[in-house]
């Protein structure tokens, strides 16, 4: 009996260790450890459940659920946890024990750590007494031995009904006799699985000798319904464009924060008297700053920013902690920049007001805003690809906010009196960033990993979404971004003709990049001969003051974004080029085919050639491997012919956007085809 340990098939009882409770509506069953089978979370005990036999310990689903108290960020009382969590402690012999889904406590020569099995992020486990020392291996062995000796008389209850099976009779409930472990090893004692009836589920899969129920598997399946509405694609010249792989990879750094501590630039000027100068700047630019108080009214905003300038955010440790090693130099750079700007500068006013408002929120928001402002100030010192990647940051943020609003409202926006910290937007955002951030190019992963409410926020996310697979989640988030809005906003920023414009993209680096990467670098400037390319733009030509500055047409910008792989051509049928909310039209040749003098017959012939080319590539195996459909699609997008493909090398395929492994395989396929021609 027994359900999947954490699936809908049976929450009460530990599947694989005797008769667990019977799913969401079933009850009863018995446990090998003397605990009566738990009841489903959604229903009270069924009337058919009989009283437990003498000598057993009664364990309702509430007691079963109480083990979560040992899952805090520190996992302190490890010995007690090993005794209480009898069904989980036996897995210590494999180097870890399970505390809840996706979390394990690992131990070894370097100490004890609580690890998230999805993100691989670890926290040290220490004692809860005054010493703060780690537990020793011998203490762990004693705790496991103590748990292994525990025996229960077993309880009897009504069989569960969630699986549709009839209740089974209760079986033996005693554990196998305790056997002393060999020197240097941990005890491994498995209980009897012969005990009582209990419905649905099956044995929990993580124990290594069973599989979880269908309901449990469905929770983690990567084949999921759409979580967010699909974002609008860019339609241009008869083609449809979506975000490419470059939109999720250009900004990644080892630190996961967008910059490492060594990459944080020094402040433009160091403040000679930081407390006084910060106070003066805030008074000049932030209206009513004297009455603004943070930390739930305990401290003034001015004091908080002064302290942050000196030693960082106290909730993230000392000045040299991983997060503060980024925050401290970043906020010093920001205040150094503000000290050089005039009090009337609107950008300075915006920055200082943003910092003051962040202090009214939690320190997780403060860290995020400080690093974001730093990136804004230093963005124009970056290369063009990184500047465009940074421009996309606000669209990624909006996608995560939309996800939180959709699945966690209204609690996510309520204050601490109405919702718990892990239910609030700031900490839910940390959970989403840790889950999907590395797959979508988020640059504040490190601060999010150090969110003290991260574990509970992740549990909250897991309870709302049908999947917590990072890749699937990132795909949904990036797919919800309005590509047309992103491209047009980028074009507007570049073509802004105002002398005082606060630009995200430095126009000088556009030409520098074009000179190295485009066949015609001068295409980034306005061209009178191609006025039709600018006809739909506002403005549609540069002013006399900006005559020698880059002025892009949509055609050239799309070409640049394709080169950077930030955009990708979406392969779709012609009639699907319309938005979902528009009426479908009959298929007809696009402008590009008309200009080339191509009719329907020519288009069909080209398609047939492409299909034949794809079939030819698929038919060739190299050490049992064939080229993936994605690689072949990439070749077809670049209109490669068979003769051209045969002459290409691994480097040529890498330049097209293939991964290293795909490029090697494509190069070998090309060599095979070339040798076949010669023979």
Percent pLDDT > 70 in the chain is 59
Alpha-carbon gap, residue 272 to 280, rounded angstroms? 13
**Would you say 100 and 116 are in contact if contact means Cβ atoms under 8 Å apart?**
no
Please indicate, yes or no, whether residues 118 and 83 belong to a single structural domain of this protein.
yes
Q: Of the residues 353, 382, 411, which one is the last residue of a structural domain? A: 382
Angle CA(159)–CA(163)–CA(169) in degrees, nearest 5?
Answer: 25
Q: How far is CA 48 from the centre of its chain?
A: 45
Q: What is the pLDDT of residue 266?
A: 58
The residue to which tokens 């554990």 are assigned: 175
List, edge to edge, every strand of the sheet that includes 96-100. Answer: 96-100, 103-108, 111-116, 122-124
* 110 and 244 together in one domain: no
pLDDT above 90 for 123: no
Domain-embedded: residue 47: no
Q: Are residues 556 and 547 in contact, defined by beta-carbon separation less than 8 angstroms? A: no
Pairing relation of β-strands 293-294 and 299-300? antiparallel
Instruction: Tell me the C-alpha distance between 632 and 670, whole Å.
Output: 12
Q: Please state, rounded to an integer, the average pLDDT across all residues of the chain.
A: 68
pLDDT at 482: 92
Examine the pLDDT at 38 and tell me if it is beyond 70.
no
How many domains does the chain divide into?
5
Non-local CB neighbours of 497 within 8 Å, separated by 6+ positions = 539, 542, 543, 545, 546
Task: Note whether 221 and 471 are within 8 A (CB).
Answer: no
- Supply 363's token pair: 């320190």
Does residue 410 register a pLDDT over 50?
Answer: yes
The answer to whether residue 36 sits within a structural domain is no
Residue 492 makes CB contacts below 8 A (sequence gap 6+) with none
Cβ neighbours for 431, distance < 8 A, ≥ 6 positions apart: 448, 451, 454, 457, 458, 460, 461
19 inside domain: no
The model's pLDDT over 577-596, given as tens digits with 9 standing for 90+, comes to: 344 444 333 334 444 434 33
C-alpha dist (Å) from residue 305 to 336, 351, 452, 674: 13, 13, 21, 67
Based on the fold, state whether residues 173 and 302 are members of the same structural domain: no
Show the DSSP H helices in 157-300 as ranges.
Answer: 214-220, 274-285
| Whether 199 and 150 share a structural domain | yes
- Are both 532 and 470 inside the same structural domain? no
Per the CB < 8 A criterion, the answer to whether 559 and 521 are in contact is: no
**End-to-end Cα distance, the chain:** 65
Looking at the structure, do residues 653 and 612 belong to the same domain, yes or no? Answer: yes
Is 457 domain-assigned?
Answer: yes
Q: Which of 381, 379, 382, 384 is nearest to 563 (CA)?
A: 384
**Do both 569 and 615 map to the same domain?**
no
Residue 24 has pLDDT above 60, yes or no: no
* 196 confidence band (pLDDT: 50, 70, 90): very low
What is the rounded CA–CA span in Å between residue 521 and residue 514?
Answer: 5
Rounded to the nearest 10 degrees, how much is the dihedral formed by the CA atoms of 537, 539, 545, 548? 0
Is the domain of 421 the same as that of 334?
no
Task: Supply the pLDDT for residue 175.
Answer: 32
The separation between CA 522 and the C-alpha centre of its own chain, rounded to angstroms, equals 39
**Would you say 134 and 124 are in contact if contact means Cβ atoms under 8 Å apart?**
yes
Do 433 and 550 have their domain in common? Answer: no
Lateral strand order in the sheet of 234-236? 234-236, 239-243, 567-569
Alpha-carbon distance of 186 to 279, in angstroms, equals 60
Tell me whether residue 388 is in a domain: no
Contact 31, 169 (CB under 8 A): no
C-alpha of 222 from chain center: 14
Whose CA is closest to 7, among 17, 28, 21, 19? 21
Question: What average pLDDT score do residues 258-271 get?
Answer: 58
When pLDDT is cut at 50, 70 and 90, the band that residue 304 belongs to is very high
Residue 339 lies in a domain: yes
Please state, in angstroms and rounded to a whole number, the distance separating the CA atoms of residues 104 and 75: 10
What pLDDT score was predicted for residue 629? 80
Which stretches does DSSP call E strand in 68-187? 96-100, 103-108, 111-116, 122-124
Least confident stretch, 54-68, 525-539, 616-630: 54-68
pLDDT at 621: 84
Q: Are 19 and 37 in contact (CB under 8 A)?
A: yes
Position with higher pLDDT, 668 vs 122: 668
Give the confidence band of 508 by pLDDT, cuts at 50, 70, 90. Answer: confident
Choose the weakest-confidence range: 161-175, 337-351, 532-546.
Answer: 161-175
Q: Say if residue 401's pLDDT is above 50.
A: yes
Segment (H or E) for 81:
helix 78-84
Same domain, 432 and 285: no
Find out whether 440 and 248 touch, Cβ atoms under 8 Å. yes
Bond from prior residue into 173 cis (ω within 30 degrees of 0): no
Q: Is the dihedral of CA 467, 471, 476, 478 positive or negative?
A: positive
Judge if 376 and 348 occupy the same domain. Answer: yes
> What CA–CA distance (Å, rounded) separates 281 from 351?
11
pLDDT at 530 over 60: yes
What's the average model confidence in pLDDT over 293-302?
86
Q: In the structure encoding, which two tokens stand for residue 637, read together?
A: 């997008």
DSSP state of 622: B
Write the Ramachandran bin of 10: left for phi over 0, alpha for psi from -120 to 50, otherwise beta: left
Q: Which residues pair with 19 in a beta bridge?
A: none
Radius of gyration of the chain (CA): 31
Kindly state whether residue 588 falls inside one of the protein's structural domains: no
Cis, peptide link before residue 561, omega less than 30° from 0: no
pLDDT-derived band at 268 (thresholds 50, 70, 90) equals: low
pLDDT digits 0-9 by tens, 430-475: 999 999 988 888 888 888 888 888 888 988 998 888 877 888 888 8
Q: Distance between CA atoms of 552 and 510, rounded to whole angstroms?
A: 10
Please, where are the H alpha helices in 548-597? 554-563, 591-595
pLDDT at 417: 83
> Averaged over 399-424, what is the pLDDT?
88
Position 110 confidence tier, pLDDT thresholds 50, 70, 90: low
Q: 561: pLDDT confidence band, cut at 50, 70 and 90?
A: very high
Supply the pLDDT for residue 314: 85
Nearest to 335 by CA among 314, 358, 308: 308
* Per-residue model confidence (pLDDT) at position 502: 80
Lowest-confidence pick of 39-43, 89-93, 269-273, 316-320? 39-43
Of 239, 236, 191, 79, the residue nearest 144 (C-alpha): 79
Domain boundary among 357, 382, 407: 382
Q: How confident is the model at residue 519 (pLDDT cuts 50, 70, 90)?
A: confident
pLDDT exceeds cutoff 50 at 142: yes
Per-residue pLDDT at 200: 36
How far lies 484's CA from each of 374, 490, 532, 554, 664, in Å?
27, 10, 20, 11, 35
Sign of the dihedral defined by the CA atoms of residues 462, 467, 469, 473, in that order: negative
Residue 37 maps to a domain: no
Confidence of residue 302 (pLDDT cuts 50, 70, 90): very high
Q: Is the pTM of the predicted complex or chain greater than 0.85?
A: no
**Residue 610 scores a pLDDT above 60:** yes
pLDDT band at 59 (very low <50, low <70, confident <90, very high): very low
CB 268, CB 457: distance < 8 Å = no
Domain hosting 674: range is 600-678
If you write DSSP's letter for every residue of 485-505 in order, what string do you get? HHHHHHHHHHT---TT---SS
- Furthest C-alpha separation in the chain: 95
Q: What are phi and psi of 22, to 5 degrees?
A: -95, 60
**Both 552 and 622 in a single domain?**
no
Instruction: Let me know the angle formed at the C-alpha of 461 by 460 and 465, rounded to the nearest 5 degrees.
Output: 125
């Amino acid at each position: 009996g027994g359900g999947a340990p954490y699936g809908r098939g049976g929450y009460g009882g530990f599947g694989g260790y005797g008769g667990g409770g019977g799913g969401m509506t079933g009850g009863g069953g018995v446990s090998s450890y003397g605990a009566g089978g738990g009841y489903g979370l959604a229903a009270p005990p069924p009337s058919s459940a009989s009283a437990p036999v003498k000598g057993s310990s009664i364990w309702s689903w509430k007691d079963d659920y109480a083990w979560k108290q040992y899952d805090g960020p520190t996992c302190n009382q490890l010995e007690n946890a090993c005794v209480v969590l009898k069904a989980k402690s036996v897995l210590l012999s494999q180097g870890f024990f399970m505390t809840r889904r996706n979390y394990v406590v690992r131990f070894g020569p370097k100490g004890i750590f609580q690890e998230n099995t999805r993100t691989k992020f670890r926290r040290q486990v220490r004692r809860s007494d005054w010493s703060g020392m780690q537990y020793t291996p011998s203490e762990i062995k004693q705790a496991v031995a103590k748990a292994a000796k525990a025996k229960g008389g077993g309880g009897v209850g009504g069989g569960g009904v969630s699986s549709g099976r009839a209740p089974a009779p209760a079986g033996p409930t005693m554990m196998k006799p305790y056997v002393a472990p060999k020197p240097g090893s941990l005890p491994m004692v498995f209980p009897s699985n012969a005990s009582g009836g209990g419905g649905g589920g099956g044995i929990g899969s993580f124990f290594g000798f069973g599989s979880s129920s269908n309901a449990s598997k469905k929770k983690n399946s990567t084949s999921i319904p759409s979580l967010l509405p699909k974002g609008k694609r860019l339609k241009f010249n008869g083609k449809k464009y979506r975000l490419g792989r470059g939109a999720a990879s250009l900004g990644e750094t080892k630190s996961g924060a967008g910059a490492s501590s060594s990459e944080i630039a020094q402040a433009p000027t160091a403040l000679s008297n930081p407390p006084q100068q910060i106070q003066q700047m805030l008074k000049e630019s932030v209206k009513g700053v004297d009455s603004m108080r943070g930390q739930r009214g305990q401290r003034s905003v001015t004091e908080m920013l002064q302290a942050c300038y000196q030693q960082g955010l106290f909730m993230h440790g000392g000045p040299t902690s991983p997060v503060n090693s980024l925050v401290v130099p970043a906020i010093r750079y920001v205040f150094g920049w503000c000290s050089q700007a005039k009090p009337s500068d609107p950008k300075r006013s915006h920055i200082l007001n943003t910092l003051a408002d962040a202090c009214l929120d939690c320190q997780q928001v403060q860290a995020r805003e400080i690093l974001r402002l730093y990136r804004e100030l230093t963005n124009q010192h970056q290369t063009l690809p990184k500047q465009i990647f940074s421009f996309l940051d606000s669209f990624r943020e909006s996608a995560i906010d939309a996800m939180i609003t959709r699945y966690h409202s209204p609690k996510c926006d309520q204050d601490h009196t109405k919702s718990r910290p892990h239910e609030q937007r700031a900490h839910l955002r940390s959970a989403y960033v840790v889950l999907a951030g590395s797959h979508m190019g988020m640059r504040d992963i490190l601060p999010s990993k150090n969110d003290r409410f991260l574990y509970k926020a992740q549990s909250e996310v897991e309870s709302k979404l049908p999947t917590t697979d990072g890749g699937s989640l990132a795909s949904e988030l990036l797919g919800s971004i309005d590509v047309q809005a992103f491209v047009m906003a980028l074009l507007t920023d570049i073509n802004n003709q105002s002398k005082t414009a606060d630009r995200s993209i430095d126009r000088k680096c556009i030409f520098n990049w074009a000179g190295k990467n485009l066949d015609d670098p001068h295409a980034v400037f306005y061209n009178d001969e191609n006025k039709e390319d600018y006809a739909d733009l506002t403005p549609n030509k540069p002013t006399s003051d900006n005559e020698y500055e880059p002025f892009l047409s949509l055609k050239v910008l799309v070409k640049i974004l394709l080169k950077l792989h930030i955009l990708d051509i979406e392969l779709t049928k012609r009639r699907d080029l319309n938005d979902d909310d528009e009426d479908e039209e009959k298929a007809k040749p696009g402008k590009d085919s008309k200009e080339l003098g191509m009719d329907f017959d020519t288009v069909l012939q080209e398609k047939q050639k492409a299909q034949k080319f794809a079939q030819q590539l698929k038919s060739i195996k190299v050490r049992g491997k064939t080229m993936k459909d994605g690689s072949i699609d990439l070749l077809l997008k670049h209109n490669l012919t068979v003769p051209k493909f045969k002459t290409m090398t691994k480097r040529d395929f890498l330049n097209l956007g293939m991964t290293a492994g795909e490029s090697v395989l494509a190069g070998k396929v090309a060599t095979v085809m070339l040798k076949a021609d010669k023979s």
